[in-house]
Amino acid sequence: MFKSIKSKIFVSHFILIVILLVGLTYKHYHNSIDMYIQNVITFHTNASASIVRTSSLAISGQNYGNIQLPSFVAELSSNSKLVYLQITGRSDISYKEFSAVYTKENTHMYRNIYPEKHEQNLQLKLKRFQSKLNEINIDKVKINFLIARTKDALFEYERNKNLLKTSSMKYKLLLNKESPYIDYDKNLLFLSLKTNNKNSGIVSMVYDISEIINLKKKIIIDLVIESVISLLIAIILLTILANKIIGPLNKLSNFMTNDFRTLNAGKTPSLELSDEIGILSNKFKVLIESMQENQARIEGKAYFDSLTGVYN
Amino acid sequence: MVKLLWMILVTSSLLNANSLSEYIKELKNMVLVKESMIPGKDVVLPKETPLFVQQTVSMYNWINEGKGTKLNIYVPKDKVELYKTHGPYPDGLTAIAIYEDQDIIFVTEHFQGEPIYGTFDREGKDISNSHPSLNVKACIQCHTNYADICINGTCSVPMLDIFNKK
């Protein structure tokens, strides 16, 4: 196998090219993915500026209303890639714990922490207001307003409690990772940004980056096409190179198989070449000429007497 | 269905966006407890300004054609001590804030132990629907939700609080 120089040259170079190509392709693939991930991280970090601003304000004053405003929730839900968001921190004045969570499934920002006996206090308040409704001198507009507001607060509390129970906990593990973190199995990006209120806080965001699957496919297809084209070009070039080297050697070899006495040294192949093959041809030419001279001398001595010059 | 119910409930409470508190005709028996200002819209606040103040300024710096306004806060004589400790307040008038250069009067009142709000001009006309930032909804948004700063319906950031005991 591979006895000829031509096949040895071809195969050894071909293997070398394949190794280089695989290495470069692997590197190119990872560079493309890394670059994409960096772009995604930069994009989401920059796009989160307003989220961080609102969150800072909310943590600072322990204001859950700010982050539950429809406009803020709409801002979050308009980012279809944002699947989970958690705001945590401590308020600036009373140093109270603040925590709120948004999930894409529910398209809702819900409060995580309530004061002790929050529900009981609201229930008591509601009962007290409702009992006042029967009083004659009571301002009906004001008392109805307070009843509606308390009912809203109770409804929100109930809803948040239920959402906390049912909301997916699948992103919780990600929150312990160092940001930025990519979960390649689930195609999720975890980003964590500091808020700018006095006591600081954290906005943790989980983004769906499943588009990376299509991107990976596209990169692989592109790389396979590039590799096939490169290999085809390599095969053509290697064939030309092998022929360039082996062709003159074959001609020289065929030339040398003739009886050297009949050879015309001046017609030795590849004499015109200035490379190693040209040098070899010239050496062969000198050899042929030398051998032909020696042959003529020996023959002269064999057929003629050296003193008299007549036939033996 | 739950969403629909939620929307109905929210709408039910927010539809009532007119002033709920009563207009105060004169400042008799009221004590000026704080003199402050809303800077003009071109004023850049220092970075270290409390975020609550920054939000208040950004919400109201359109006042007086963006030139800002003097802000005075008055509290009934008998409630000054309660104001220092953020209540708890008995029912009745609690405090009024006046944007002097635009004649806007914010009235905070307590009713059944709960704060309610209203916005009026000098003539006592309810102007709560004349601008989103004057709406009762906006008052509640800040006064009720800023649990760290607004207690029992009155708000103050410690560094601005003239009653801050040292």
Minimal CA separation from A192 to chain B, in Å: 21
Instruction: Specify which residues A182 forms β-bridges with.
Output: A189
Look at residue A233 in the predicted model and tell me its pLDDT. Answer: 93
Look at residue B160 in the predicted model and tell me its pLDDT. Answer: 45
- Higher-pLDDT residue of A9 and B11 is A9
Minimal CA separation from B52 to chain A, in Å: 7
Which residues of chain A have a CB within 8 Å of the CB of B51?
A: 56-57, 60-61, 92, 197
H/E segment holding residue A58: helix A49-61
H/E segment holding residue A111: strand A108-111
Is the omega angle on the peptide bond into residue A180 within 30 degrees of 0, that is, cis?
A: yes
Query: Has residue B1 got a pLDDT over 50?
Result: no
Query: Has residue B140 got a pLDDT over 60?
Result: yes
Which residues of chain B have a CB within 8 Å of the CB of A146?
A: 111-112, 114, 116
**Residue B159 touches partner A, C-beta closer than 8 Å:** no
Q: Tokens in use for A122?
A: 């609201």
Look at residue B29 in the predicted model and tell me its pLDDT. Answer: 82
Q: Tokens in use for B112?
A: 């059944």
Share of chain A above pLDDT 70, in %: 98
Note the pLDDT tens digit of each residue in A5-33. Answer: 888 888 888 999 999 999 999 999 999 98
Mean pLDDT of chain A: 88
Mean pLDDT for B17-28 is 77
Mean pLDDT for B74-85 is 89
Mean pLDDT for A47-70 is 88
Mean pLDDT for B110-134 is 88
Query: Has residue B9 got a pLDDT over 70?
Result: no
Query: Has residue B6 got a pLDDT over 80?
Result: no
Note the pLDDT tens digit of each residue in A269-293. Answer: 988 988 888 999 999 999 999 999 9
Q: B 37-96 residues with CB below 8 A of A? A: 50-52, 54-55
Q: Which of A48-52, A85-89, B60-64 has the lowest mean pLDDT?
A: B60-64
**Distance between CA atoms of A232 and A240, rounded to whole angstroms?**
12
Q: Which ranges constitute the DSSP H helices of A115-205? A: 118-132, 140-166
b/e sequence A226-262, b meaning 16+ C-beta within 10 Å: ebeebeeebeeebeeebeebbebbeebeebeeeebee
**Distance between CA atoms of A21 and A27, rounded to whole angstroms?**
10
Mean pLDDT of chain B: 79
Look at residue B158 in the predicted model and tell me its pLDDT. Answer: 54
Nearest CB partner across the interface for A65, out of B5, B13, B141: B141
Question: In the structure, what pLDDT confidence band is assigned to residue B148 with cuts at 50, 70 and 90?
Answer: confident
pTM: 0.69
Question: In the structure, what pLDDT confidence band is assigned to residue B15 with cuts at 50, 70 and 90?
Answer: very low
- Residue type for position A169: M
Note the pLDDT tens digit of each residue in A58-67. Answer: 898 888 878 8
Look at residue B144 in the predicted model and tell me its pLDDT. Answer: 76
